[in-house]
Amino acid sequence: MALSIEQLRDGLAPEQDLVLPSQPADPEMRESVSVWLFDDEGRFAFPRMGIEAEGHSWDNRRVQGNFSFADGRVLNGAGMGAAHAPIGPDGTPSVLGAGPIRFRCVEPFRRWTMHWHGPARDGNVEQQIHGGFGTGGSVDIALDVEMEMVTPAWVQENATDTSGMSEIEMANAGAMGLGYRLEHHFLATGRYTVGGETFAFKGRGTRVHRQSIRSLTGFFGHCWLSAVFPNGDAFGCLGYPPRDGTGDALSYNDAVIYKDGRMIPARIVDAPFLRRIIPSGDDVTVVLESALGRTVIAGTTALSTFRIGNPDIGGLNLQQGGAMFSWGDQHAYGMVERSTHESQTTIG
One-letter amino acid at 55 equals G
- The per-residue pLDDT for range 303-341, each reduced to its tens digit, is 999 999 877 677 899 999 999 999 999 999 999 999 998
One-letter amino acid at 24 equals P
What's 230's DSSP letter?
T
- The per-residue pLDDT for range 119-128, each reduced to its tens digit, is 999 999 999 9
The fraction of the chain above a pLDDT of 70, given in percent, is 90
Q: How far is CA 226 from the centre of its chain?
A: 9
Rounded Cα distance between 298 and 212, Å, is 32
Rounded Cα distance between 149 and 263, Å, is 14
Tell me the torsion sign for CA atoms 100, 65, 335, 31.
negative
Other C-beta atoms lying within 10 Å of the C-beta of residue 209: 26
> Across the strands, what pairs with 247?
none
The pLDDT of residue 310 is 73
Q: How confident is the model at residue 54 (pLDDT cuts 50, 70, 90)?
A: very high
pLDDT at 162 > cutoff 50: no
The pLDDT of residue 212 is 80
Instruction: Give the chain's mean pLDDT.
Output: 91
Other C-beta atoms lying within 10 Å of the C-beta of residue 95: 19
Q: How confident is the model at residue 163 (pLDDT cuts 50, 70, 90)?
A: very low
Residues 279/304, Cβ–Cβ less than 8 Å: yes
Residues 177/220, Cβ–Cβ less than 8 Å: no
- The per-residue pLDDT for range 249-273, each reduced to its tens digit, is 888 899 999 999 999 999 999 999 9
- This prediction has a pTM of 0.92
DSSP letters spanning 201-219: EEEEEEEEEEEEE---TT-
Residues 48/32, Cβ–Cβ less than 8 Å: no
Q: Is 31 exposed, middle or buried (0-12, 13-18, 19+ CB in 10 A)?
A: buried
Residues 254/213, Cβ–Cβ less than 8 Å: no
Separation of first and last alpha carbons in the chain: 45
Q: Please tell me the CATH code under which domain 26-347 is placed.
A: 2.40.370.10
> Across the strands, what pairs with 273?
none
